[in-house]
Amino acid sequence: MTWKYELVIWLEIHVRVKSQTKMFCSCKNAVELAEEPNINVCPVCMWFPWMLPKLNAEVVRLGVIAGQAMKCEVNKISRFDRKSYFYPDLPNSFQTTQLYETIVGQWDVRVLVNWELKHFKIHHMHLENDAGKLTHVWGKTLCDYNRAGSPLMEIVTEPDFRSKDDVVEFLKELQKMMRFANVSDADMEKGQLRCDVNISLRKFGENILNNRVELKNINSFSSIGRAIDTEFSRQAKLYEKWEYVDQETRGWDDDKGVSNVQRSKENAMDYRYFPEPDLLPIVLTDEFIADCASKVGELPIDRRITYLNDYKFKEDDARILSADRDISDYFDSLVALTKDANKSNSYITSVLLAMMKEDAEVNTFASLRFEISELAEVIALVNKDELSSTNAKLVIEELFVNGGKTSAIVDAKWLRQTNDLWALEAVVDKVIESNPTQVADYKWGNERIFGFLVGQCMKASAWAWNPKIFNDILKNKLG
Ligand SMILES: [Zn+2]
C-alpha cells in the first residue's frame, strides 16, 4: 500500500548562532551548556521589570552571512515581533521573533541527494531568542536559564522534500554551510541544530496538501530517517482504513521508535503575535550586506562539484575533502601550489588525515608543525622523480612529528633519488668499509653474503634506490 502515497515534507530548523554574547544582553553565549546552571544570566535575559533589550550587532551579521551562504535574498528592513506563550523555560512569557518581516527571504539550496543535484526552496529565515532548559528530577522541575536569550536562526522550508534521503542530505548540506560560513557549529547532538519535521501524505498525482503532523524532539540524522519511516507507515495505514490524519504535534521517542501526541489542533496555541515595542527595526546598508557576502567564501556544494567534475575524484574523496572548511581550504591551497590535484588529494586523505586522527595534539590543520609549502615541496620532488612515494611518506611523517624543511630532511636521511653515481658509490664504499669480515667471506667464495651486502646498502640509503643499482656497483667493486 505504501507505493500509493507520496511523502510531502517541510522543515522548521533552529540553528544556534555562534556569537560571543547573547542576543539582547552582554551575557556569554556559551556554545555548550555550562555545568553550573544560571551563571550566564543577567537582569536583561531574565527580563526583570524595566530592563530593555539591546540587539547584538554580531547576531545580525552572522544571520546575514548565513542567509547569503544559502544564497537567499537578504531583506534590508526587518522587524521583531512578540510571540506570547507561558512556559517555565521562558522567563518573560514571550519570545522575541520575526513573523511579518524577516531578515532573510526565500531562495533555494542545492543539495546532492544520491549524487543527483536537487533544489529545495527556503521560505524564509528569521532571528529569535532561545528559551532556557528544564530538567525534571525527583518529581520537581529545575530551570536553567544559561541558554535563555541565546540567538537562534529559524529556517523554514517549502514542502519540497519527497523522501527521508532528501531531508537528511539537505540537513547535512545545511550543517556544512553553517560551518563553512562559521556562523554555527550546528552540532545536532549538542542541540545546535534542531529540526521539526512536518509530514503529510498524498496519493501520487495529487497536488494537494493534506493534514500534516509535526514531529519534534529528533536529535540525530539517523533518528530523522527512522521517524520519517515510522510516520509514513502510520499515516498510510490511517488512509487505508479511510480514517483522517489529525493535524497535530507529536514527540518522537527514539528509544521506543514511536511518536506520541503532544498537542492536537483543538488546543493549538494562540500566540497573540504583535510588533515588539522595545526594539527598532533592523535596517541594513548595501555596504554591510556586501561585507557579509565577502565572508561566505566558496560553498561546500560548489567545491564538491569541482572535485567530482573537474578533478574526477571518487565520491568518497570528494566528500571527505569538502566535509569541512579547514580540509577544503588546505586542499585548495595545496593544489594552487602544486598544480597536482591527485597527489594533493592522496597525501591529504590517506597520509595526513590518518596521522591527524591518531594524534591528540596535532589534529587540526592550524596545529601542523610545518608550512604547507613543505608538503608542496614533497609533491614536487616526487613529480621530478627525486623522491620515491615510499620515502615521500617518510618525509611527511618526519614533518608531522618534528616539523622542519622538506629539503633538509630529504638530504639528512639520504632520501633523494639520484642517478649521481658518485653518491651511490659513496654508500657502497661505506658498506664495504664497515663490513670487512663479510666482504672477506664473499671474496673467499661465499656467494650468499652478497645479498646481505646489497641489503646493507639499501638500509644505509633508506631504501631510496632500486637494489639492482647496488648489485651492479658492488659486483664492480668486489670483482
Ligand atoms: Zn543576560
Per-residue pLDDT averaged across 373-399, rounded?
A: 89
* Burial class of residue 430 in the structure, from the number of CB atoms within 10 Å of its CB (0-12 exposed, 13-18 middle, 19+ buried): middle
According to DSSP, the residues that pair with 152 across neighbouring strands are 16, 128
Interval between CA 63 and ligand 1 midpoint (Å):
20
Q: Is the pLDDT of residue 76 over 70?
A: yes
Q: Is the pLDDT of residue 415 over 80?
A: no
Is the CB of residue 388 less than 8 Å from the CB of residue 464? yes
Contact (CB, 8 A) for 150 and 29: yes
**Confidence label for 410 from pLDDT (cuts 50, 70 and 90):** confident
> Which carries the bigger pLDDT value, residue 472 or residue 90?
90
User: At residue 87, does pLDDT exceed 70?
Assistant: yes
Per-domain boundaries in the chain: 2-290, 298-412, 421-478
Calculate how far, in angstroms, residue 336's C-alpha sits from the geometric centre of ligand 1. 46
pLDDT more than 70, % of the chain: 97
Instruction: Look at phi and psi of residue 270 and say left if phi exceeds 0, alpha if psi is from -120 to 50, else beta.
Output: beta
- The yes-or-no verdict on residue 466 having pLDDT over 80 is no
User: Is 45 a residue whose pLDDT tops 70?
Assistant: yes
> How far is ligand 1, taken at its centre, from the CA of residue 105, in Å?
29
Count of Cβ atoms closer than 10 Å to residue 416 Cβ: 17
280 vs 475, which has greater pLDDT? 280
Distance 145 CA to ligand 1 centre (A): 9
Render pLDDT for 292-344 as a digit per residue (tens, 0 to 9).
999 988 889 999 999 999 999 998 899 899 988 899 999 999 999 999 999 99
Å from CA of 164 to ligand 1 middle: 39
**Closest by Cα among 9, 4, 2 to 165:** 9
Using one digit for the tens of pLDDT, what is the confidence trace for 125-157? Answer: 999 999 999 999 989 999 999 999 999 999 999
The rounded distance, in Å, linking the Cα atoms of 66 and 179 is 10
Q: How far is the CA of 27 from the centre of ligand 1 (A)?
A: 4
- In angstroms, rounded to a whole number, what is the distance separating the alpha carbons of residues 268 and 417? 76
Task: Give the distance (Å) from ligand 1 centre to CA of residue 134.
Answer: 18
Q: In what order do the strands lie in the sheet with 274-275?
A: 94-97, 81-84, 274-275
Domain 421-478 has CATH 2.60.120.330: no
Which three cell numbers mark 461?
A: 640509503
pTM: 0.80
Residue with cell 546575514: 64
User: pLDDT value at position 206?
Assistant: 86
Distance 150 CA to ligand 1 centre (A): 9
Distance from Cα 277 to the centre of ligand 1, integer Å: 19
- Hey, how many other C-beta atoms are within 10 angstroms of the C-beta on 355? 17
Look at residue 268 in the predicted model and tell me its pLDDT: 65
Whether 348 has a pLDDT exceeding 90, the answer reads yes
Q: Taking phi first (over 0 means left), then psi (-120 to 50 degrees means alpha), and beta for anything else, what does residue 394 get?
A: alpha
For residue 37, pLDDT over 80 is answered with yes
In which band, very low, low, confident or very high, does the pLDDT at 46 lie, cut at 50, 70 and 90? very high
Q: What separation in Å is there between the alpha carbon of 58 and the centre of ligand 1? A: 15
Q: Per-residue pLDDT tens for 193-250?
A: 999 999 999 988 888 888 899 998 888 999 999 999 999 999 999 998 998 888 899 9
What pLDDT, in 10s, does the model give residues 257-275?
898 988 876 666 788 999 9
Whether the CB-CB separation of 237 and 224 falls below 8 Å is answered with no
Residues shown for the chain: 479
Written in H, E and C, the secondary structure of 399-466 is HHHHCCCHHHHHHHCCCCCCCCHHHHHHHHHHHHHHCHHHHHHHHCCCCHHHHHHHHHHHHHCCCCCC
User: With the CA atoms of 226, 227, 233 and 236 taken in that order, what torsion angle do they form, in degrees rounded to the nearest 10?
Assistant: -150
Q: At 426, is the pLDDT very low, low, confident or very high (cuts 50, 70, 90)? A: confident
- Whole-number Cα distances in Å, 297 to 73, 173, 455: 17, 15, 53
